[in-house]
Structure 1
Amino acid sequence: MADTVTGSFGADWQAWQDSWDRQQEWYMPDREERFRVMLDMVEALVGPAPRVLDLACGTGSITDRLLKRFPLASSTGLDLDPALLTIARGHFAGDDRVTFVTADLKDPGWRSALPHETYDAVLTATALHWLPSADLAVLYGQLAPLVRPGGVFMNADHMPDPATPRIDAAEHAHRHGVMDATRARLGVPDWREWWALAAADPVLAEPTKARFAIYGEHADGDTPDEAWHARTLREAGFAEARAVWRSPSDALVLGLK
């Protein structure tokens, strides 16, 4: 919607959730497809009533889709971002299937904030590229004990193939051309504009200020390819690991305990 660029939602948490989803879907038109495959694999491997850790949960986009598909599921959402957690807590207020915790994944003791020792599934999307690969390898080692035997970890993120630079460049140019046309037609806010809206809204102004004090504009992570993720998960203690979905630029890697 064109008016989302200049809108102010106050404490209308559904409106903030929808606005975040539109902004993210502008960058990733296949976002719902990766979520669908993620939940397909949850159902296939651990069943329709999983205990889930929504890692780096943001506004709770994964949790939202999880509970709509699996009403008997439960979710722990973990993040450090005070603005996105404010939206998540507001959006899921009163739902006793959902718990949110604030924790920094770079803190060696972050797992102590969790309400459970193990989970059927740990899920994350478009978040862990904020970590350098050395830190991500450490995190994968910390995640392995959290996933019960037979449980799963899934990470959907940017995973370009360094062996195909011309293909990657052509895909990038085409995707951004489509994004520009979509933006001109619908007026979807980009990343910076969305955060400017949040900073200008009385309800989110202080959490947004705190968020930028933590992260700055963007963290300095990197984007190893899917082979690195699969190999590192196996080295961390997962019995099997491979991509179960991919687009020209992104992939969903699954590790099975």
Structure 2
Amino acid sequence: MTGTGTAAHTDWQRWQADWDRQQEWYLPDREERFRAMLDAVEALVGPEPKVLDLACGTGSISDRLLRRFPKATATGIDLDPALLTIARGHFADDPRAEFVRADLRDARWTDALPHRAYDAVLTSTALHWLRSDELRTLYGRIAGVVRQGGVFANADHMPDDTTPRINEAVNAFHRARREREKAEGRQDWADWWKAAAADPALAEPTAERFRIFGNPAEGDHADGETQPVAWHVASLRAAGFAEARTVWASAADAMVLALR
């Protein structure tokens, strides 16, 4: 078992910052999408929301939420034991945040939540790990935990296959940028997980994570699917949301916002 002394002296804020930096290598507009997400939350449910951070990872959304809205509260839910370890360490002294572990593919994942309903459910760059039928089912369950008048926001890969030349040009541009930054020493996904596995405070939960999802150095367990914005909008309305539309987009990603 990982010693409590080791965990107590781990710099969880550094791990959180390193995660953010690694993610920004793939998503240079990551902060912009978070800003747009929280703008939508404030516009529709106000500055004191009770939020479910879905597939929360290290708690990146919760971190930005609580800095922007001091009277907000956040519940993070994820299956990944390593990322949850970092989240719990990062927020250890903040009573506004709590974290639970559950598999969103499990029909009973909502049983793990400490609250029956939330003002907002937020997620970013996570649900593309699910297949389309799994995501439709999940959207229905999310509708069940968003209060009437509450919102759900999903920012993720939502490709538009009707613009192949634009897509290829943008993809080539970002590949070249990543190659330059990688040559300068930036961590990618596999590098970050290698560092986590080598840290005494994270070695055990990282090993468990590899058993669940696979080792990034050998190829992740990523058998999900990506769908265009229109698919998400239609699926959310079918799940019981009154309204749904795009509220932010980049060349490759988009954010859909749904009102219960």
**TM superposition score category, shorter chain reference:** over 0.9
Aligned to 1:211: 209
Under a length normalisation based on structure 1, what TM-score does the superposition of the two structures give?
A: 0.95
Partner of 1:141: 140
- Which whole-Å CA distance do the structure 1 matches of 2:141 and 2:180 have between them? 42
> What is the Cα deviation at residue 169 of structure 1?
1.5
Aligned equivalents of 2:22, 2:54: Cα separation in 1: 20
Distance 1:239 1:173 in 2: 38
Question: Equivalent residue for 2:55?
Answer: 56
1:130 positional shift: 0.4
Distance 1:119 1:126 in 2: 20
| 1:221 aligned partner, one-letter code | G
Counterpart of 2:24 in structure 1 is: 25
- Per the TM alignment, residue 209 of structure 1 is displaced from its structure 2 partner at its CA by 0.5
Give the 5 Å matches for 1:48-197: 48-185=47-184, 187-197=185-195
Q: 196, 200, 208: which is aligned to 2:198?
A: 200
User: Bigger CA drift: 163-172 or 118-127?
Assistant: 163-172
Corresponding position: 1:232 with 2:235:
yes
Q: Who is 2:5 aligned against?
A: none
Deviation string 1:17-70 (CA, Å, 9 cap, x unpaired) is 000000000100000000000000000000000000000000000000000000
Q: Secondary structure of the residue that 2:251 maps to in structure 1?
A: coil
Q: Which residue in the other structure is 1:4 paired with? A: none
SS of the equivalent of 2:144 reads helix
Among all aligned residue pairs of Structure 1 and Structure 2, give the percentage whose two residues are the same amino acid: 66
Q: Which segments of 5 or more consecutive residues in structure 1 lack a partner in the other structure?
A: 1-9
Q: What letter is aligned with 1:51?
A: K
Residue 227 of structure 1 aligns to a residue whose secondary structure is: helix
AA aligned opposite 1:215: F
Specify the alignment match of 1:255 in structure 2: 258
1:157-208 CA-to-partner distances (Å, cap 9, x unmatched) read 00110111222121111111111122223x1110001000001111111100
CA drift at 1:11: 1.2
SS at match of 2:107: coil
Structure 2 distance, partners of 1:182, 1:33, is: 20
Distance 2:211 2:164 in 1: 35
| 2:245 aligned partner, one-letter code | R
Q: Distance in 2 between matches of 1:192 and 1:66?
A: 28
Task: Show the counterpart of 2:13.
Answer: 14
Moved over 6 A (4+): none
TM-score by length of 2: 0.93
Counterpart-to-counterpart distance in 1, 2:172 and 2:225: 20
Deviations 1:211-241 (A, max 9, x none): 0111112321011011100110000000000
Cα RMSD after superposing both structures: 0.8
2:18 match: secondary structure: helix
Q: Partner of 1:44 in structure 2?
A: 43
Equivalenced residues, count: 247
Range moving further from structure 2, 120-129 or 155-164? 155-164
Return 5+ residue gaps in structure 2 as ranges: 1-8, 215-219
Q: Counterparts of 1:59 and 1:24 in 2: how far apart (Å)? A: 11
